[in-house]
Amino acid sequence: MNTLLRALKRNAVELPMSVREGLLPGRPDGSPHPGSEEAEAGRRMRRGFLHHLHPLRVTERALDPTVTLGLGIATLTLAVLLVMTGVLLMVYYVPTTAEAYGSMQDLQYAISLGGFIRALHRWTAHGMVATVALHVVRVLAMGAHRGRALNWLFGLVLLAVTLGLAFTGYLLPWDQLSYWAVNVAASMLDHVPWIGLWLKRLALGGDAVGQPTLTRFYTLHVALLPGLLLVAAALHLWRVRKDGGLAGPGAQTTVPAWPHLVQREVALALAVTAAFCAASLIFAAPLGAPPDLHTPSNPEKAPWYFLGAQEMVSYSATMGGFVFPLILLLGLALLPFFDREDEGVGCWLGAPATRNAVLVTLGAAVLAFALLEPLYLHAAPPASALGRDLLNPAAGMLLVSAIAFVLGGASTGSTRAAFLCAFAVLIVAMVGFTAMGLCRGPNWVFYWPWEAWPHGY
């Protein structure tokens, strides 16, 4: 415990220097030494930026599929498919409340290959949310954020933009499902203190989903967010190269990118494309009834990537809509500035002691979630608002995460172990709450996947 406290104190005292070094890699003033290799690389970058988005040489370790899991190339492939299919959909889609649903029907049933293109666009959007999130988890689990704070933040921006793209696109079919799903997701902003209502009105263009909302979502989806994604992705790839490629332990042997890396990238891109094309041929993108603006769906559900937050909001609006997301985001943003250990970088779950602590924590987190949910479902709800905020599964998992942070760090003397143990609990919580949300039926009652809903739903 003393080792952990000393490390946290030292990292907190040196936080300003860590932030400066992380956001301005190189010399203390952020500029490379004249004549240094970094300065020469900067000169070449200015001559040809695109040259720096792909390496000429890679480490042999980077070719191991168990290290990267191919998530970066999979994400890039899905992004290209999204742009291609999105441009084709724009030719026929009409972004007005009067014509949006009809144009979606034309795409689905009247236009040649329209249903396939729409399905491919939808499933690749869901796939990209998953691959970007998994990529962040992989970097976290391998400690690859160490010494790469700026690129870690670029990665978080990419995750946020990807979620924004998926969410803004979710409304565009303008059917019953999408209309009320966006209503539910937007209503969660009501619980953000001080700025929540302002953010909601900014997003919706008013107090309710309507034509201003559709116009704003369409503009964000086809112009602003794709532009931001392109810039953030280019900066992310550039920083990967500037930081020396894949993070790993010590000096590593390199090989030419051609043919070793390029052939693997092309093969994976083709495999991902084939898999999603096959899925799009088998599973059509859903298109429900036209939206009934006065009769909500039952149950009303946010898109799956926000279902975990909706489940937590059903326990406590304050905890699920503000406290839990805030702690998760702050923890991710501050991680590279407080975790400054070099041991175990590039290895799954770090050093052996850290790995053991995280694996034990994962088991304990699953057990804690499995106990907290049934207890809450069968217990009488607290009478006071404060009691509802403090006595619910989301608050319980935050408490378990705090305990894991202390015990994981104290048992290993490692700040990385402390953070990994805490995040392991939060990840289990988010996956568990999302699964719970998927199992909710009418009136937000829990049904097992094999149970039938009441007649009429």
Tens of pLDDT, residues 281-291: 999 999 989 99
What Rg do the C-alpha atoms of the chain give, in angstroms? Answer: 24
* Weakest-pLDDT range from 26-35, 117-126, 131-140, 155-164: 26-35
Instruction: Say yes or no to pLDDT of 324 above 90.
Output: yes
Q: Name the pLDDT band for 350 (thresholds 50, 70, 90).
A: confident
**Max mean pLDDT range (23-27, 67-71, 112-116):** 112-116
Predicted confidence at residue 86, as pLDDT, reads 96
* Weakest-pLDDT range from 228-232, 430-434, 441-445, 452-456: 452-456
In this structure, which amino acid lies at residue 260?
Answer: H
Higher pLDDT, 147 or 160: 160
pLDDT digits (tens, 9 = 90+) for 195-221: 888 989 998 988 889 999 999 999 999
444 burial type by CB count under 10 A (0-12 exposed, 13-18 middle, 19+ buried): middle
Round to whole Å and give the CA distance between 1 and 72. Answer: 37
Predicted confidence at residue 27, as pLDDT, reads 44
Instruction: Say yes or no to pLDDT of 32 above 70.
Output: no
State the residue for tokens 């599929």: 65
Predicted confidence at residue 8, as pLDDT, reads 67
Q: Name the pLDDT band for 242 (thresholds 50, 70, 90).
A: confident
**CA 215 vs CA 39, 175, 296: distances in Å:** 45, 16, 22
| pLDDT, the chain, mean | 86
